[in-house]
């Protein structure tokens, strides 16, 4: 992990001593992710440090789930640096993650007279970050954005790396993240205090992305991340601040290294950004299914649709099954499954369609190249590989391994 260069450091020295910073190294698009408590107050200063005196207005896109107190902490910091603020609230649903919402946002920015030199602030989970980031990338051909993630998943994953976008709905089928842009933020403030209002299920869904990072971590400089996560699982489930701060900073560091090596997901081989899709091709195929339900290890059903992070957890299970059929050590695969159980993430899904339909949905995923299924497969502890040559029967039995009757 690298501490920030002074000129892109978003955290003034007055911030809490417990703040951790991780630099995302992208040449002139580099920025710093700060992780700690009481950081929202510094968003205004971050804007001034990164953009100077030009911005006059902050256009704040706020998730309707974020508390009034957290909104207030953010807004209070703008007054001291003479930034006017306009607030636009968004409902965070996959249905609202749409081009129609982008249109409304851009209209609202126009009414607020947001200039190209102004700044967009995204305060919310991954949906709000993706939507606000995409609007910022397109409005007046691009304005700066600061990401202030408020869910665990968006802190460890969605807010870092510059992927933004919305879904398309075609004939009633949701096509995830089909329209979007790469638009790196000028800084990320992961304020742990915002997590206090997050429900347990949404919080745990974020832990699935952490297990994913741990399954890649040996390649990206942190081979002990899986063992540390296993040891800290109790403290993490109890949301202990020190454990959370370490978890988020180490996970962001993995994501930052992956992104720095392959910003636009163009590389093949063992270090490309495509590795971050571990568990996601299975997960996306399950996530969008209206009748599918997650099942806990104790056999009870999780109510309502499967959350993104829960779908990823199921995808990681399927990926482990696939890995085992291709020679992955069974002891390691079992330790990953045990960690997912420890974190109370779903063990299986019921209400899944026929395996052929799931396979077709996976092949239709936008990560497929020319219709060829490209899957990320765990190959050794902390290491996963990209494969386009997996026999269909192995994929079928991996799907079956997460089917609950
Ligand atoms: N851009 C990327 O690189 C990237 C990476 C991973 C995931 N994603 C996207 O992120 C989305 C999932 O993000 P998510 O898991 O953060 O879920 P989310 O954005 O759907 O938020 C989940 C729920 O939590 C609420 N919420 C947010 N912050 C809260 C808070 N502090 N207190 C109380 N409630 C709060 C929201 O209103 C929503 O109801 C998906 O659309 C996924 O595609 C993007």
Residue 141 · residue 129 · CB < 8 Å? no
Average pLDDT of 251-273? 90
**Residue ID of nearest Cα to ligand 1 atom 7:** 158
Cα of 120 from ligand 1 centre, angstroms:
18
* Ligand 1 geometric centre to CA of 268 (Å): 28
* pLDDT score, position 367: 59
In the CATH hierarchy, which fold is given to the domain comprising 6-198?
Rossmann fold (3.40.50)
Q: Which atom of ligand 1 is nearest to the CA of 307?
A: 15
Q: How far is the CA of 101 from the centre of ligand 1 (A)?
A: 16
How many angstroms separate the alpha carbon of residue 80 from the centre of ligand 1? Answer: 29
The answer, yes or no, to whether residue 14 has pLDDT greater than 90, is: no
Verify whether ligand 1 is closer than 6 Å to residue 180 (CB atom): no
- Strand ranges of the sheet holding 84-90, from the earlier edge strand across to the other edge: 20-24, 31-36, 187-191, 144-149, 119-124, 57-63, 84-90
- Please give the pLDDT value at position 153: 97
- Residue in 151, 183, 201 to alter for ligand 1 test, most ligand atoms within 8 A of Cβ: 151
- pLDDT of res. 269: 64
pTM: 0.94
List, for residues 86-134, the tens digit of each pLDDT value.
999 999 999 999 999 999 999 999 999 999 999 999 999 999 999 999 9
Atom index in ligand 1 nearest the CA of residue 165 equals 1
Nearest to 123 by CA among 80, 68, 168: 68
pLDDT tens digits, 349-368: 999 999 999 998 898 765 55
Residue of the CA atom closest to atom 41 of ligand 1: 127
Please provide the CATH number assigned to the domain covering 250-400. 1.20.1090.10
**Whole-number mean pLDDT of the chain?**
93
Q: How far apart are CA 32 and CA 11, in angstroms?
A: 9
Cβ 133 under 6 angstroms from ligand 1: no
* Dihedral sign (CA 324, 329, 331, 333): negative
Closest CA to 288 of 358, 347, 341, 344: 358
Rounded Cα gap, residues 255 and 276, in angstroms: 8
For residue 52, report the distance from its CA to the centre of ligand 1, in Å.
30
pLDDT in tens, 368-399: 555 568 899 999 999 999 999 999 999 999 99
Query: Backbone phi, then psi, for 227, in 5-degree steps?
Result: -60, -40
Q: Sketch the domain layout of the chain as residue ranges.
A: 6-198, 250-400
The pLDDT tens digits for 269-309 are: 667 999 999 999 999 999 868 899 999 999 999 999 999 99
Ligand 1 geometric centre to CA of 197 (Å) = 13
Q: Verify whether ligand 1 is closer than 6 Å to residue 157 (CB atom).
A: yes
Percent with pLDDT over 70 in the chain: 93
Which among 281, 127, 64, 303 is positioned nearest to 200, based on CA atoms?
Answer: 303
| Distance from C-alpha of 224 to C-alpha of 172, rounded to nearest angstrom | 43
């Amino acid at each position: 992990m690298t501490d920030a260069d002074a000129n892109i450091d978003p955290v003034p020295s007055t911030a809490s001593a417990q703040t951790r910073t991780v630099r995302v190294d992208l040449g002139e698009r580099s920025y710093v992710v700060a992780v700690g408590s009481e950081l929202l107050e510094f968003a205004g200063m971050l804007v001034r440090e990164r953009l100077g005196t030009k911005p006059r207005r902050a256009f704040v896109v706020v998730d309707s789930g974020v508390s009034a107190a957290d909104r207030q902490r953010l807004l209070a910091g703008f007054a001291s640096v003479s930034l006017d603020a306009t607030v636009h609230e968004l409902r965070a649903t996959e249905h609202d993650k749409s081009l129609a919402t982008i249109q409304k946002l851009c209209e609202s920015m126009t009414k607020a007279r947001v200039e190209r030199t102004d700044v967009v602030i995204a305060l919310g989970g991954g949906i709000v970050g993706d939507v606000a980031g995409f609007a910022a990338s397109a409005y007046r051909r691009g304005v700066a954005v600061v990401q202030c993630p408020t869910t665990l998943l968006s802190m460890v994953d969605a807010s870092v790396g510059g992927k933004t976008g919305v879904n398309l709905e075609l004939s009633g089928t949701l096509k995830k993240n089909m329209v979007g842009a790469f638009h790196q933020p000028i800084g990320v403030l992961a304020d742990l205090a915002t997590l206090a209002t997050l429900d347990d299920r949404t919080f745990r869904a974020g832990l699935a992305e952490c297990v994913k990072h741990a399954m890649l971590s040996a390649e990206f400089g942190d081979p002990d991340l899986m063992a540390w996560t296993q040891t800290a699982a109790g403290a993490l489930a109890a949301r202990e601040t020190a454990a959370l701060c370490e978890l988020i900073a180490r996970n962001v560091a993995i994501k930052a290294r992956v992104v720095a090596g392959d910003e636009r997901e163009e590389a093949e081989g063992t270090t490309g950004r495509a590795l971050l899709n571990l568990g996601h091709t299975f997960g996306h195929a399950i996530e969008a299914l209206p009748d599918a339900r997650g099942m806990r290890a104790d056999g009870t059903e999780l109510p309502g649709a499967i959350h993104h992070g829960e779908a990823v957890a199921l995808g990681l299970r399927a990926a482990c099954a696939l890995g085992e059929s291709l020679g992955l050590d069974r002891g390691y695969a079992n330790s990953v499954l045990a960690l997912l159980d420890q974190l109370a993430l779903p063990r299986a899904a019921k209400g899944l369609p026929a395996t052929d339909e799931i396979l077709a949905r996976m092949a239709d995923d936008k990560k497929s190249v020319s219709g060829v299924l490209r899957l990320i497969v765990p190959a050794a502890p902390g290491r996963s590989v990209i494969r386009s040559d997996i026999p269909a029967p192995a994929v079928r039995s991996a799907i079956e391994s997460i089917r609950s009757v």
